[in-house]
């Protein structure tokens, strides 16, 4: 997906122009310079792949561009939800159009969505033209995969990539692809050598790694359209899908046997779900000669997949951190100021405007944790358009006169308070004091 800068479109235009000149004839609808399987896949399927544009109704200009593809003769198209999310979020401001070779083909409406898998099915006019064939994401390691789409608004392309298996936690997995997807290819199909769709282009990881949504999730969503099982009450659909995904994560985390490690005087979980949550660490030694008046150690863990609600708002993440601070150089007062400032910093919840979420409501208390006394803040805010969804943030700071201080923080975005408390009961109850 490409979304122009809100302050200026000139940088995007310049980058697109330079990119198109550099790539030359490779990025054209005729797919010059392609050979072998990639060329055959392109020739067989390019007529069913389109550029998707989200149009601002008032300015009549494109606001977001991505890709999509025809999946039936009766007018069904597939794309990513994040490509068209603004139409669902603000239907009075945006509409969807689809293009081929730079010419408008028609308008599209939203038929079904799956925000947890970042999929959308759109409806256009029926046609006699052949749709793509939906295949299977179960491929052999090293198999060739051929994504198609419209990168950077310069024309339809096909890339050659390598299938590297499924990653993540079922039923919310992705295909790991060795190929450099570009902005604007989001929502396009990725084919196997026989020309069947194995997945939908969804994310760019960098270093020539990308992700695809397995085609099985698209098949399931398409079936819901055929059987009439889907609802078009989008706020309700979005809430239920976000909560179902989050409940799966929390239930699995709570039922898992965690491994633990020492962090200073604390014994803390290594990772609550290795396939979902990734951890990083850092530290800095105290060295007054380098203006470093405190020692700190920091372990931060966070899920690496979120859910788009609109181009400006995402949710569905979970994260936590352990912060260890001590100093031999600072006075007690100065050290307490540093410690208090760190405790007041919030983490692990998405940026959102006042029109999207309420203000945080916080409750402060003193609690016993890991055989020590702590100051605690429990904060909650609610999504305005999605009142079942909440962001929960908790922060704990150890009390006492010890020169070694600890802060524990947990943030969860897009869930109910009972789900949050279910996780917090196990997580906070598992932490131990080792000295």
| CA torsion angle 211 215 217 221 (round to 10) | 130
In this predicted model, what pLDDT tens digit does every residue of 220-235 receive, in sequence order? 999 999 888 778 899 9
Q: What is the mean pLDDT of residues 369-380?
A: 93
Q: Do the beta carbons of residue 246 and residue 316 sit within 8 Å? A: yes
In this predicted model, what pLDDT tens digit does every residue of 342-367 receive, in sequence order? 777 777 778 888 899 999 999 999 99
Rg of the Cα atoms in the chain? 25
374: β partners: 367, 398
Which one, of 85, 138, 141, 155, lies nearest residue 114 by Cα? 85
pLDDT band at residue 89 under the 50/70/90 scheme: very high
For residue 162, the tally of other CB atoms under 10 A from its CB is: 15
Q: What is the pLDDT of residue 20?
A: 44
Q: What is the mean pLDDT of residues 180-189?
A: 90
Q: Is the pTM of this model over 0.75?
A: yes
In this predicted model, what pLDDT tens digit does every residue of 302-315 receive, in sequence order? 998 899 999 889 99
Residues 6+ apart with CB under 8 A from 341: none
pLDDT band at residue 271 under the 50/70/90 scheme: confident
Alpha carbon distance 144, 190 (integer Å): 10
Q: What is the mean pLDDT of residues 136-158?
A: 91
Domains and CATH numbers, the chain: 10-227 (2.40.10.120), 240-433 (no CATH)
For β-strands 318-326 and 313-315, DSSP reports them as unpaired
Q: What is the pLDDT of residue 52?
A: 97
pLDDT at 267 over 90: yes
* Residue 188, both tokens: 């396009």
Q: What is the mean pLDDT of residues 338-344?
A: 78
Q: What is the pLDDT of residue 402?
A: 73
pLDDT at 29 over 50: no
pLDDT band at residue 113 under the 50/70/90 scheme: very high
Quick check: helix, strand or coil at residue 36?
helix
- DSSP per-residue codes, 82-137: HHHHHHHH-TTTEEEEEEETTEEEEEEEEEEEETTTTEEEEE----SS--PEE--S
Which one, of 252, 249, 395, lies nearest residue 316 by Cα? 249
Looking at per-residue pLDDT, the higher value among 2 and 381 belongs to: 381
Q: What is the pLDDT of residue 23?
A: 45
Q: What is the pLDDT of residue 179?
A: 87
Q: How far are the Cα atoms of 43, 249, 420 from residue 317, in angstroms, in the given order?
A: 40, 10, 12
pLDDT band at residue 206 under the 50/70/90 scheme: low
Q: Do the beta carbons of residue 372 and residue 394 sit within 8 Å? A: no
Q: What is the pLDDT of residue 35?
A: 53
Q: Do the beta carbons of residue 423 and residue 250 sit within 8 Å? A: yes
Task: Give φ, ψ of 72 to 5 degrees.
Answer: -160, 160
């Amino acid at each position: 997906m490409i979304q122009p800068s809100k302050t200026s479109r000139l940088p995007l235009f310049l980058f697109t122009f330079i990119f198109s000149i550099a790539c030359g004839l490779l990025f054209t609808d005729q797919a010059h310079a392609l050979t072998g399987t990639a060329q055959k896949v392109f020739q067989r399927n390019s007529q069913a792949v389109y550029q998707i544009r989200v149009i601002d109704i008032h300015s009549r200009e494109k606001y977001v561009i991505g890709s999509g593809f025809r999946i039936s003769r009766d007018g069904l198209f597939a794309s990513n939800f994040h490509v068209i999310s603004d139409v669902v979020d603000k239907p009075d401001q945006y509409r969807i159009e689809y293009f081929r070779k730079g010419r408008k083909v028609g308008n599209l409406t939203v038929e079904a969505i799956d925000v947890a898998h970042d999929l959308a099915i759109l409806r256009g006019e029926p046609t006699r033209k052949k749709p793509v064939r939906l295949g299977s994401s179960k491929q052999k390691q090293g198999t060739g995969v051929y994504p198609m789409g419209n990168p950077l608004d310069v024309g339809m392309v096909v890339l050659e990539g390598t299938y590297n298996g499924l990653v993540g936690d079922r039923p919310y997995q992705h295909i790991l692809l060795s190929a450099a997807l570009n902005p604007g290819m989001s929502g396009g199909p990725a084919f196997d050598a026989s020309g069947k769709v194995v997945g939908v282009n969804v994310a760019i990881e960098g270093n020539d790694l990308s992700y695809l949504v397995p085609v099985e999730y698209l098949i399931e969503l398409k079936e819901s359209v055929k059987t009439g099982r889907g609802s078009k009450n989008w706020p309700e659909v979005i809430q239920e899908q976000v909560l179902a995904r989050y409940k799966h994560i929390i239930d699995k985390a709570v039922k898992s046997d965690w491994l633990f490690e020492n962090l200073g005087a604390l014994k803390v979980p290594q990772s609550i779900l290795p396939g979902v949550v990734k951890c990083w660490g850092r530290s800095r030694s105290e060295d007054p000669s380098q203006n470093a008046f405190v020692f700190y150690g920091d372990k931060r863990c966070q899920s690496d997949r979120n859910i788009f609600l609109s181009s400006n708002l995402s949710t569905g993440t979970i994260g936590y951190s352990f912060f260890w601070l001590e100093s031999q150089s600072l006075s007690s007062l100065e050290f307490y100021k540093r410690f208090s400032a760190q405790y007041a910093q919030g983490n692990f919840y998405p940026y959102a405007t006042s029109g999207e979420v309420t203000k945080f409501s916080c409750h402060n208390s003193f609690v016993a944790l890991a055989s020590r006394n702590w100051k605690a803040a429990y904060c909650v805010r609610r999504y305005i358009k999605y009142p079942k969804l909440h962001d929960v943030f908790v922060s704990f700071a150890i009390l006492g006169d010890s020169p070694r201080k600890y802060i524990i923080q947990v943030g969860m975005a897009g869930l109910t308070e009972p789900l949050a408390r279910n996780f917090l009961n196990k997580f906070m109850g598992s932490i131990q004091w080792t000295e």
